Amino acid sequence: MLIDFKNMDEKVLPKFKNGEGELIAKLFTNELGKVMYGKLEPGSSLGLHTHETSSEVIYILEGTASFIYDDTTEVANAGDCHYCPKGHRHQMMNKGDKTLVFFAVIPEQ
């Protein structure tokens, strides 16, 4: 199945999961999970949340992401991948001065 992000409308999601700023996303969703092309402007974040029914893989396309993963802090640059398994918690932040662009896959389990 092809997911055509180029022709998909962007959604602006303020304070996503109680984060700061806005998540700008193109999102494909079905009963098996979600696939997202997303952007966070400088100072924006996705709020800290636990993956109760899914895991998440985030691949950084542009910029630098700061993550809180359980009790650790991680930094991911373009070309790096962050993984949050089911039952764990994480938060993604853009502390840089450039737009953070990422691709995420969130399969239900």
Could you state, in order of their start, the residue ranges of all structural domains in the chain?
Answer: 11-107
Contact 100, 46 (CB under 8 A): no
Specify which residues 84 forms β-bridges with.
56
Beta-carbon contacts of residue 1 (< 8 Å; ≥ 6 apart): none
pLDDT of residue 41: 97
Tens digit of pLDDT per residue, the chain (109 long)? Answer: 999 999 999 999 999 999 999 999 999 999 999 999 999 999 999 999 999 999 999 999 999 999 999 999 999 999 999 999 999 999 999 999 999 999 999 999 9
**CATH architecture, domain defined by 11-107:** Sandwich (2.60)
pLDDT of residue 21: 98
Q: Is the dihedral of CA 28, 29, 30, 32 positive or negative?
A: positive
pLDDT of residue 48: 98
